[in-house]
Amino acid sequence: MNKSNNGVVFTKEWIVELMLDCCGYTSDKNLAASLIIEPSCGQGAFLIPIVRRLIASTKKYSCNIADLYDSIRAFELDEQHIKECWTMLFQLLINEGIDIQTAEKLLDCWLVNSDFLLCETFRKADYVIGNPPYIRGTEIDRVLREKYIRACKTMTAGTDIYVGFIETGLRYLKPNGVLNFICADRWMHNAYGKKLRKLVSENYSVDIILKMPDVDAFNTEVSAYPAIIQISKTPQSIAASASMTELFTEESVPELIDWLHNGAGNSCLKQTFSGYWHKSWFRTDDVWPVTSPDVITLLEKLNSQYHPLQNKTTETQVGIGVATGRDDVFILHDPTLVEKCLLLPLVTSAQTRSGRIEGEKVWLFNPWDNSGNLIDIEQYPLARKYLESHQESLRSRHVAKKSCEKSWYRTIDKVYPGLVNMPKLLIQDMKSYIQPILDKGDYYPHHNLYWITSEQWDLEVLGGLLISDVARMTVGAYCVKMRGGTLRLQAQYLRKIRLPEPSAIDFKLQAELVDAFRNDDRSKASEAAMQAYDLKGFLHEKHRICSC
């Protein structure tokens, strides 16, 4: 999500109401007898609906106002936001007929100007709800980040801050308590969420996951991929997952809530959302495929019968292109600037957007020798002159500062020149489908291009399998999704693809896969893949794959 006000992105009111309905914080219950925690209250997007529901419940159950002092705790670091919340809630309470002195006492108890991740021991809550701030781990102050890591076992130096909010919120749940957050869904799919997935799978129940990358849920545009997650401190039982389309609006909420509360066991496939019930949830710290039960069953079949894309048997490797740390220095349009022996023909993501390698020829200036050591620039006068002309900017990079003094001109990643001459498939990140491009051994891939090499596979046969719906289904189930169904086609997700043995595919089927790959015929590739995986009987209706 785009960051503003220390990572705070404000949630639309109808989304807040949806979340409160999901977790059962409704005015038909005696809410005065429960405690709800808002860990990052911002300007009150959650607090105002919470207080309205609490007051309505108080009137229904004829509760004493004094019973409300311990019904809410809202944490916020920004003192100005605390003041704004105080003012808005004070007026709301006065309008509800609460006297000035009581309203002031309530707000003094409810609002806490403190860091939720570092707060002292607090009594357990029935509900923890909110939109935790979104700040990347690398953007958190180093000293503060170290404090967070000590306080939150699931956080590391590279963990985004909302992971700590989920852990801390779970820690403050009483038995049967419920946490409901809207936050980035990366923790379910990325390596940095491994510790949190382990914590949840071993100690809590995943109840609801609502994926909504195409829903306009915030008051400002976001770049992350939000989901509403509901986790309870109960034994794991059935779980609901749903994916919202761009048509999901406030008017769609009643139908969703009705399905969540009354439709257990039944799928719900609408224009606004596709929802599924699962008999349980994953008890693993591995990446969670959030998809339909049918697709999960298919994934389990593929995982049990076939080898992963990257494996030693077929000597197949998946990697990512070089990150330089200063593309304007290391990517050259003029090959005369440095010695010719230090240049490698480079292919960038931009050059592959059409599905072919095209565009202006560029070169990677490679400061590494064939043994993986930095070159001695004293032996390369052109390179020395060129590097010294950019010395200030190169030395200012993080990778240069953490390296030894003599390594100031290194690229972030080491370069392995032999990769140029290896036939490989190149895959561009962030597309709605997998589109491998065959490089017969002419280029070195740049960052944001993933490459696949293999000693056993005919790469065009492999390319045919990769453009099939089976491969797309696999990656789509595991990966982070962006707006419009765009997939993150990163190496960690590509490695989830399972493949039959190359020798198990007969020559006729291989020829069909090659033809499908050369003509980018995804339908033909999918039909051939179904035969190669022996899925004809298992998945006769093709839409069950495509719907992922």
What is the chain's Cα-based Rg?
27
Q: Who contacts 232 (Cβ-Cβ below 8 Å, separation ≥6)?
A: 173, 176, 177, 178, 179, 204, 205, 207
Cα separation, 322 vs 482, whole angstroms? 24
**pLDDT tens, residue by residue, 215-274:** 988 866 655 579 999 999 999 999 999 999 999 999 999 999 999 999 998 999 999 999
Say if pTM beats, i.e. exceeds, 0.75.
Answer: yes
| Strand 72-75, strand 111-112: pairing | parallel
**pLDDT tens, residue by residue, 310-346:** 999 999 999 999 999 999 999 999 999 999 999 999 9
Over pLDDT 70: what percentage of the chain? 95
Structural contact between residues 474 and 302, judged by C-beta atoms closer than 8 angstroms: yes
Of 460, 436, 469, whose CA–CA distance to 450 is shortest? 436
- State the pLDDT at residue 547: 44
**pLDDT tens, residue by residue, 379-407:** 999 999 999 999 999 999 999 998 888 99
Residue 276 pLDDT > 70? yes
Of 458, 474, 475, whose CA–CA distance to 314 is shortest? 458
Residue 483 pLDDT > 90? no
**DSSP structure string for 243-255:** EE-TT--GGGHHH
Residue 37 is inside which H or E element, if any? Answer: strand 36-38
Over pLDDT 90: what percentage of the chain? 88
Cα separation, 179 vs 196, whole angstroms? 14
Token digits of residue 158: 């590279």
- Helices (H), ranges, 306-397: 327-330, 381-389, 391-395
Q: Who contacts 263 (Cβ-Cβ below 8 Å, separation ≥6)?
A: 275, 277
Cα separation, 8 vs 10, whole angstroms? 6
- State the pLDDT at residue 537: 59
- All structural domains of the chain, each given as residue ranges with its CATH number in brackets, are 13-204 (3.40.50.150)
**pLDDT tens, residue by residue, 525-545:** 999 999 999 987 555 444 444
pLDDT band at 179 (very low <50, low <70, confident <90, very high): very high
- State the pLDDT at residue 66: 80
